[in-house]
Amino acid sequence: MNVHFLGTAAFEGIPSLFCQCDTCKQAQARGGKNIRTRTSVMIDGELKIDFPPDTCHHAIRDNIDMDKVKDLIFTHSHSDHLYAEDMLIRMAGYAKSGDHPIHVYGHDLPIRSCIEKLGMQQDKYRFHIIKPFEPVQTQTATIVPLVADHDMTETCLVYHIEKDGKTIFYGHDSGWFPEQTWQWLKGKKLDLAILECTTGKLGGRSNHMNADCVLETKEWLLANEIMNPGGKFVVTHFSHNAHLLHEDLTEIFEPHGITVAYDGMKIEL
Ligand SMILES: [Zn+2]
Ligand SMILES: [Zn+2]
Ligand SMILES: [Zn+2]
């Protein structure tokens, strides 16, 4: 399985629009892995998680054929994860796209947001409202939506994804997971855990994770024997407000065997 990190920033991007902070200036000057766009992941070129406003840039930068996407899964409706306006480009008159509908999965708010912008559009998109802890067989994978701790006004989801015999836990945006999610994970086996570290050494364990919370989550997954041998840990979804450059993040996480994601990073499972 190929896991391609298209974007690795929180809402603001790094360097952030308008920002004059030292972190953004340093990121701009150093470039490379310090340049981060809004978070999304592509699996095997056919299963995409979230549709941020940087999707056009991701496709151009990494030479991706977005029309090969079969399934699109939404974590929640925040604008760094869902920019339905650009999904409209798949319609006749804007693009000469394929005939197959892309199947779109999410809780009610993201799906309603898509339908408000796109109409029902059954020929180009097929919408599915999913519920926490109810497994869904998509065209490409078996997904189980789990609950996040992120925004009390919305049912935000994280995911267990099983595809071609490999399993991923997709864990953002969220703070320390609600008890039902931990309980559901018990007895499962993972090849990859993708966690978030929006707040770096600041913040805490509500709504988003800081570094200590990520380390604690890793320890919990190991202590409960949830990781398969060789199972990998990746952190993503970083904010400039944590004031950590890529090398600062690797200093924190690499000694713990956790890979710091960067835009364009690919890992094979
Ligand atoms: Zn986010
Ligand atoms: Zn900044
Ligand atoms: Zn969010």
The domain limits of the chain are 9-268
Residue with tokens 């049912």: 155
- pLDDT score recorded for residue 248: 98
For residue 9, the CA-to-ligand 2 centroid distance in Å is 12
Rounded Cα distance between 200 and 210, Å, is 5
Structure tokens at 176: 């320390």
- pLDDT score recorded for residue 88: 95
Q: How does DSSP assign 149-178, residue by residue?
A: SS-TTS--EEEEEEETTEEEEEE-S-SSPP
Superfamily of domain 9-268: Ribonuclease Z/Hydroxyacylglutathione hydrolase-like (3.60.15.10)
For residue 81, the CA-to-ligand 1 centroid distance in Å is 6
For residue 26, the CA-to-ligand 1 centroid distance in Å is 22
Radius of gyration of the chain (CA): 18
- pLDDT score recorded for residue 228: 97
For residue 63, the CA-to-ligand 1 centroid distance in Å is 24
Q: What mean pLDDT value characterizes the chain?
A: 97
- pLDDT score recorded for residue 203: 85
- pLDDT score recorded for residue 75: 98
Express as a percent the part of the chain with pLDDT over 70.
100
pLDDT surpassing 80 at residue 121: no
- pLDDT score recorded for residue 204: 86
Q: Please name which ligand lies nearest the alpha carbon of 25.
A: 2
pLDDT surpassing 80 at residue 52: yes
For residue 258, the CA-to-ligand 1 centroid distance in Å is 20
For residue 82, the CA-to-ligand 3 centroid distance in Å is 10
For residue 34, the CA-to-ligand 3 centroid distance in Å is 21
* Listed residues: CB within 5 A of ion ligand 2: 16, 19, 21, 24, 240
For residue 50, CA distances in Å to 73, 122, 145, 162, 222 come to 6, 19, 14, 17, 28
- pLDDT score recorded for residue 22: 98
pLDDT band at 122 (very low <50, low <70, confident <90, very high): confident
For residue 169, the CA-to-ligand 2 centroid distance in Å is 29
For residue 99, the CA-to-ligand 3 centroid distance in Å is 32
CA angle 181, 196, 156 (to 5 degrees): 45
For residue 10, the CA-to-ligand 1 centroid distance in Å is 5
pLDDT band at 2 (very low <50, low <70, confident <90, very high): very high
- pLDDT score recorded for residue 1: 97
pLDDT band at 69 (very low <50, low <70, confident <90, very high): very high
- pLDDT score recorded for residue 136: 98
For residue 145, the CA-to-ligand 2 centroid distance in Å is 33
CB atoms within 10 A of CB 200: 22
Q: Please name which ligand lies nearest the alpha carbon of 28.
A: 2
Q: Please name which ligand lies nearest the alpha carbon of 156.
A: 3
For residue 75, the CA-to-ligand 1 centroid distance in Å is 9
- pLDDT score recorded for residue 266: 98
